[in-house]
Structure 1
């Protein structure tokens, strides 16, 4: 939907301010206040449970009728909402209601009315749509139940598009033509479609709680300038008439993680006599502490802070058991469970004969499964089957977290496949986007979009966050992998000298078990463990890419290498011991 407003300048020129609506989002996730007519709810069934994105919780009042109200952080044009029935007692479900909106909390407009609605199933989500073109700040449901004296609802979602929160002007002092922008991303073509000329912005107005980021190149590249308030002349910032692309974002205020309360962790070993259990305990002496220590690093990859609508829980049960498989996670409400196969753990040990390798595998599994306990789940994105938007997101984000924490050292990006394949195919793709497309918070925004969009897809999320479609991103990613493979497989053609080649007869046996790096991808410091090296041995370490070569040395079995002087890219790390054996490892360097 396109909305056009006009106003008269003093010179009698009609000026057009236009904006294109963004994807519909659940505005209850964007900051605001929830309230109710009655405050007689039992403990843990208060009004805040109505918008906590958890259908296992509910709001309950000991009245057969009452209103609930949400005040949004900024005006939105709402055209649909969703109600989810609670876990029990169908007679408590809402039967009749009206949905109202207001801009002052006093004068209300009825946008939708429903009678004799039926929720035959527990935890059933139903969506209701209507026509509306007016932005409102207050929203209210006036509800009456089926029968009895108790009313309850599990979830209330309100879907709409934001009003403009920033306006850019052609001249200083807010003169010339103007372009109003809603939260989102704007390439040069998108800005031109709204009437803006390249390199033609001189002043800006920004609504409190939002920020606008100007870029002097297209696709959010080059020098940037961020403004969180009005600026009547960008000349003062040396950014006059330089804007080519723009991002408009909410200032999330995610909060300080230092005060975040971690869940209670309970550990259960259901197969204590299995070989895998013995191996697990040898690699992970304190499972409870290890599990707790895995939670916060995971959350920091997909949330900006504890106030970023984090899907929290109070209890996590870690189970190890002898069964076919690798691991799984499940749960709802305030409890989650993770189960890890001791059979898989023993297989890893049998292949590596190395406790450090087993520990890295376990930490990687825990980071992946912990992500499942906390990540958002996209709506209307298909089911949990390979190849769906939903599957690609769920398993892709979980493996992205594992990869970005350096806990997937035996895997590397591969050409082919599709972004919806999940696991490492999607995970390495997400990791590439985060490190190469100019937005280090992409994964956080990607997860946030899954929790707020009424209909989610990879393409919608990528376009709204980066202004680029997913197919374009995927093509660029695949091209980068192909280029990397050419670079590392043809050293002579790419200018790598002959002494950097790795002749097969000089490679030591079991090299995957002989060398370990952490983290991988690495940024700043890279820790290297050499399991075949004696305490006082001095070992040569080389990093080789198509265009760069660095040689350094470490003493003993453990060492740390500073990678700050290595350009970002994919390297072959070659370790040469005093016996003349070479051990190699693929390493990704980030900036």
Structure 2
């Protein structure tokens, strides 16, 4: 795969080198997208999780076979770099298990900073593969992993029930910054608190136009140990952003 080199660090787990790239997945002619962030030698001390890959489904999936522990660790590192500015504030998961299994839906994460498990639906990816190219299926798999691993690392105010839309939106911003969200999916409508990609596109637009480093700052606001209950009103106050005005401007930009 080819990458443009600049003053950013390309996402990788070989932290001793500034520009080291993940190897191509075996057998299939597939490519990974680069992830960029400002270099910081302090992140050399970041501990990556012990990864376990487990397949319990009998559904054949060549894309699952391209995954390995190093790739999952790389995604974990990239996610942490996107969500946190300081390595000392980023959780360091001891274990991360990825399970490819028979289930409804797409994927979900369970566990906490003491160890997380991500469940992937074999049926979903089997169906997705019937109407998409090999590269598109691989991109979807990696994109889903970015979203779910973001859940394993992000802060959530211990209040998913009330603020789930922003938590899902943040996870999709991470996926977006990793290059695994199609911007052609943006459309007029919805609301800033609709969640998932609708919220993610809005947050990304805010970061690009009004508030640099918004993702890191927003994630920090969801610290469950700060004794502050997060809300969109608090976000508006802390960021100095009018939600109604900015949402309308974002809609006008589409």
Determine whether 1:295 maps to 2:81: no
CA RMSD of aligned residues (A): 1.9
Report matched runs for 1:162-181 at 5 Å: none
Bigger shift: residues 355-364 or 467-476 = 467-476
Q: How do residues 12-91 of structure 1 correspond to structure 2 at under 5 angstroms?
A: none
| 2:105 aligned residue | 325
Mapping 1:324-473, distance limit 5 Å? 324-352=104-132, 354-378=133-157, 383-384=160-161, 388=162, 390-409=163-182, 412-437=185-210, 439-451=211-223, 452=226, 454-465=228-239, 467-473=240-246
Q: How many equivalent residue pairs?
A: 213
3-state SS, counterpart of residue 417 of structure 1: coil
Q: Distance in 2 between matches of 1:300 and 1:329?
A: 20
1:355-409 deviations in Å (ceiling 9; x for gaps): 2111100110000000111111136x6x53xxx5x11211100011111211012
Q: Displacement of 1:453 after TM fit?
A: 5.5
1:294–1:333: structure 2 CA closer, same or farther, 3 Å change rule? Answer: closer
TM-aligned CA deviation for residue 259 of structure 1: 2.1
Larger-gyration structure (1/2): 1
Partner SS for 2:87? coil
Deviations 1:246-267 (A, max 9, x none): xxxxxxxx97222211111011
Report which structure shows greater RCO (CA 8 Å, sep ≥6). Answer: 2
Task: Choose the corresponding residue for 2:91, options 297, 301, 311.
Answer: 311
Do the aligned residues in 2 keep the contact of 1:329 with 1:337 (CA within 8 Å)?
Answer: yes
Distance 2:184 2:227 in 1: 32
Unpaired runs of 5+ in structure 1? 1-253, 482-591
1:280 maps onto 2:63 in alignment: yes
TM superposition shift of 1:434:
1.0
Residue 53 of structure 2 is matched in structure 1 by 267
Mind listing any 5+ residue stretches in structure 2 that lack a counterpart? 1-39
Q: 1:411 to 1:293 in 2, by over 3 A?
A: farther
Q: Which residue of 2 aligns with 1:50?
A: none
Q: 1:417 and 1:337, CA in 2 relative to 1: closer, same or farther beyond 3 A?
A: same
**Cα displacement string for residues 331-377 of structure 1 (whole angstroms, at most 9, x for unaligned residues):** 0352100011111111111011x221111001100000001111111
After the TM superposition, which segments of 4 or more aligned residues of structure 1 sit over 6 Å from their partners? none
Task: State the SS of the aligned residue for 2:185.
Answer: coil
C-alpha distance in structure 2 between counterparts of 1:326 and 1:306, whole Å? 31
Q: Is this contact kept in 2: 1:280–1:345, CA < 8 A?
A: no
**Residues 255 and 305 of structure 1 are in contact (CA less than 8 Å); yes or no, is this contact kept in structure 2?**
no
Between the aligned partners of 2:233 and 2:113, the Cα distance in structure 1 is: 30
Q: TM-score, normalised by structure 1?
A: 0.35
SS of the equivalent of 1:279 reads: coil
Aligned in 2, Cα 1:432/1:333: closer, same or farther, shift over 3 Å?
closer
Report the Cα distance in structure 1 between the residues aligned to 2:200 and 2:49, rounded to whole angstroms. 26
- Other structure's SS at 1:351 match: coil
